[in-house]
Structure 1
């Protein structure tokens, strides 16, 4: 294995879990209470894409996070009820696109159930390993998936970026309290 590569079996194991001190038998937050707390937390907006056997799939994500810089790893969640879930979980490679403040309609298209997400006006092309790359985004990464972790009604995907693309400079698109917005730099 070369420097910077990750072996699938070294990414996560039950023995790698952090110990939980004094884990009491307490009731977890309700779904409404949990969502209420996170409505006050701004999240960056990304679109995750993958190529299926017959067509590309994609979805809007606000769960994108940097996990490690050495080696570079990121994570995102995909709902198990999402139309793209099976394809994303089966894919070896995915693309992660960071959106600009003026790409709210693109984010909404990829968040809308039943939408033809890759039809015009969406512009895209096949990138490395066939992953769909969206045109006009500030940044995108092609990533090799290294681990899928079932977590509640979602699957958490850990992926290693293998190629990065820098596009235009723009303020980022964020999601807060059920609405898209932006932040100043």
Structure 2
């Protein structure tokens, strides 16, 4: 029996292969925000990860062609927001190119360090950026947690098979 027995035909590495594989990986949905000279910016991220507890570090990826990248590349701090399953529309707004991400119906306020903080999320953090690591056409941003609030109510929003979903029992 070979390692690929019972599986489909393996394909060579490509952007399409990577996207196809990761469509099968359910990921939590977060919105990353920052303040820029032109106002608040933000984007939907499914790449958020806890990196270290001591010191408390997180990471996320952002494409260098993303509209939020210029602000994130210069920002000292970012907001990290864990979305609830009731926030599919908000996730879509922050994922859509050209959307008015901070206009109605988005509810937000200026938080610590001037970072835009979204309301009604499951949890949020304000983090100080400590590194931006080149990774192909993206950057992996490492940030140290400064403060946050984990007290939101609800179940997490997930991204799977190209769609936003809630948990199913």
TM-score of the two chains, using structure 2 as the length reference = 0.91
**Runs of at least 4 residues of structure 1 off by over 6 A?**
none
Q: CA RMSD in A?
A: 1.4
Residue by residue, what CA displacement relative to the aligned partner does 1:92-130 show, whole Å, maximum 9, x if unpaired? 000000000010000000000001100010011101110
Secondary structure of 1:63's aligned partner: coil
Q: Which residue of 2 aligns with 1:89?
A: 73
Structure 2 residue runs without a partner (length 5+): 1-11
2:43 is the alignment partner of 1:59 = yes
Residue segments in structure 1 that go unaligned for 5+ positions in a row: 1-27
Mapping of residues 60-139 of structure 1, within 5 Å? 60-139=44-123
Is the CA contact (8 Å cut-off) linking 1:171 and 1:184 kept in structure 2?
no
Cα distance in 1 for partners of 2:97, 2:151 equals: 28
Higher strand share: 2
Report the alpha carbon displacement of residue 168 of structure 1 after superposing the two structures with TM: 2.4
TM-score of the superposition, structure 1-length normalised?
Answer: 0.83
* Aligned positions of 1:13-32 closer than 5 A: 29-32=13-16
Q: Secondary structure at the match of 2:85?
A: coil
Task: Note the alpha carbon deviations across 1:47-94, whole angstroms, 9 max, x for none.
Answer: 000000120000000000000111110000011111010101100000
Q: Which residue of 2 aligns with 1:38?
A: 22
Matched length: 159
Give me the whole-angstrom Cα distance separating, in 1, the residues matched to 2:77 and 2:60.
14
Aligned partner of residue 129 in structure 1, secondary structure: helix
1:159-178 mapped onto 2 (5 Å cutoff): 159-178=143-162
- What CA distance in whole angstroms lies between the structure 1 residues aligned with 2:152 and 2:54? 26
